[in-house]
A and B are shown apart, each in its own frame.
Chain A
Amino acid sequence: MEISYLKNHHLAQFLETLRLFGALHGPTVSEAGVASFAPITEPASLRLDYGRTLIPPKKYLLPFRENLLQFRDGSYQSAAPAAPEIVLFGVHPCDLDGIAYLDRVFMADPPDPCYAARRAGLTLVGVSCAPDDYCFCSSPPGSAPCDLFLTSCEGGFLLEAKTSKGEAVASAARELLLAPPSPPPTEASLECCALKPQDPQLRFSDHPLWERFAELCLSCGACSVCCPTCYCFDVREYSGLSGGGVRLREWDNCLFQGHGEVAGANFRETRLERLRYRFLHKYCGFSPLQGVVSCVGCGRCKAACPVDIDLRELIAPGVPDPGGLS
């Protein structure tokens, strides 16, 4: 794919061009210092120097709460949303990997109509990042799945269209794009320390770290809320006063005690079991996605955990193997 060059002083115009393809959203930082993806009404509110947003971009595809069905007179109808066209600008490679994982879950047969509608309306423009202490990104540079990717370089960005949608955007902005300077400017280096799929037996091991984590864990669920690939949901149904009502889904959280409940039993009553459940899902995968690591290394869970639990300690090289793990 052809690579072109966007100078920094053309960025504002480039953003205006993006608006042709949908409402422009991107990273912003509030007065309180909280980074979030939000509508970009003026270029000055865009903060490409952000570290990581508190809530990952999954909110654009899986809103915290959304209607699945409506019912009236005892009959259900689909409530698939009229999805807005949104251009999400400035997404880091880890979050793009997160969306690619969610695509595997929700676009598999049968596709989820609500997710599919929102996904079709979303144009993803990625941007390279500078890792900080919390990052353990697992995507090699340049591999992030998106429509258009901008790699930060001296004086501007190298721009690569990765889909036909991305090409359409690049084409609309062609007057702003130049041939890449020669020799190519040095790309910001991105260290890759990909996490390998883990042995599920680690979950059932007597590793002493499990006990330590469980003693610390508050079951607050922050690690799951802020995770770009945590998608588990609960389904609820509510009646209105006039007889109709809605069935909705909302984010659930495997750290919460009710997650493993059935009538008369709870299969994950202890924090230890719930921490292991999350570990198993992230690093080993469920059913068709067995062996697929869904941790993208964004570092949010580590940054958000109020008691500094870092599951990677379990699998980091150098942790003494207590035996029985392999």
Chain B
Amino acid sequence: MTGAPLDPHLPYPATLLDRRQLSVDTALFRVAPEPAGLGALSRLVPGQFVQLSVPGGGEVPISPADLPGADGTLELCVRRVGHVTQLLHDAVPGQRLGLRGPFGTGFPVREMAGSPVLLLAGGLGIAPLRSLLFHLLRHRDEYGEITLMYGARQPELMLFREELVALAGQGGVRLYLTVDFAPQKPAGDFSCAVGLLPGLLRGFSFDAGSSYAAICGPPPLYRCLVGELEGAGVAPERIFLSLERRMRCGIGRCCHCAVGQMLCCTDGPVFRLSELQQIPEAL
């Protein structure tokens, strides 16, 4: 060791192991970090994010879909939506990647202990909440009732559907699925409710006073869901939202991601609703 300070911009190397296509534009990438990164990643908390580098493309902030496996591999659920993610989708196993992080705050899994937890996911927002769900289920005895409500635009875009249904079948989590639109399907095919998440939540009876809620989804979803949750009596201190901003550096310097006077990359991306209520432009 030379004692030189580490370069916070320098990713540690990682390799793409394999991929599983989840929908037409979204896949789950399994990534193996080299030993240099294992220590940092072992401290990952559900809801935190990593900066994923695809050489030649650049970097994107991704909240892993699960905590690292026993071998340190990371599951990243990524939609093909821009330059870097297109390159990732074009990559074949063995592709060299880079990782930095984890960065930011995660969901307060300790604070949630003993309480019912309501997870509300819209679209790709299922990725960080899958990580939280798996964590809760691995420590099932420490939490109250666990409920996942997941809305997607249409059945084909519902990610992890079979996996989630199987989990619900084991009894650890109450699962509610809904889609905005459902084309006609032959009899016998899987089906779920048609409607928006706020509607699903409206008809749901739960112990609002003691529950925690964790929300992740596209920006327009938050205002509606927050209104429903507060209407039902969930305290703003117990509502956690994972916000999306353009986080370039991940270490509070590039200044693209301010939410009020907080920075999404270091003070978030998981915020308490009570922290955001005085900031009209947060949601």
Contacts and interface: CB of A to CB of B under 8 A. Distances in A.
Among A112, A263, A287, the one with the most B-chain Cβ atoms within 10 Å of its Cβ is A287
Interface stretch (A130-138, A175-183, A231-239): A231-239
B214 to A, nearest CB: 20
Interface in B243-280: 244-246, 248-249, 251-256, 258, 260-263, 266-267, 278-280
A290 B248 contact: no
B7 A113 contact: yes
Contact of A110 (B6, B263, B266): B6
Contacts of B280: 204
A262 B81 CA distance: 11
B219 interface: yes
25 contacts: A69-B9, A74-B97, A76-B10, A76-B98, A78-B9, A80-B7, A110-B8, A112-B8, A204-B278, A204-B280, A231-B253, A231-B255, A235-B248, A237-B56, A237-B57, A249-B254, A259-B256, A262-B219, A262-B244, A263-B81, A265-B244, A267-B219, A284-B261, A287-B267, A288-B252
B261 A286 contact: yes
B281 A273 contact: yes
Contacts, number: 126
A232 B252 CA distance: 10
Among B5, B82, B258, the one with the most A-chain Cβ atoms within 10 Å of its Cβ is B258
Interface residues of B, number: 44
Interface majority SS (helix, strand, loop, mixed), chain B: loop
B55 interface: yes
Interface of A: 68-69, 71, 73-78, 80, 105-106, 110-113, 116, 200-201, 204, 231-237, 239, 245, 247, 249, 252, 254, 259-265, 267-268, 273, 277, 280-281, 284-288, 290
B157 to A, nearest CB: 14
Contact of B253 (A71, A112, A239, A247): A112
A77 B10 contact: yes
Interface majority SS (helix, strand, loop, mixed), chain A: mixed
Given A204-B280, A236-B58, A245-B56, A263 B252 contact: no
Contacts of A280: 258, 260-261
Given A78-B10, A233-B253, 9 more contacts: A112-B8, A116-B5, A235-B58, A237-B56, A262-B244, A262-B246, A277-B258, A280-B261, A284-B261
Given A204-B280, A235-B254, A76 B55 contact: yes
Contact of A265 (B10, B56, B219): B219
B95 interface: yes
B281 A237 contact: no
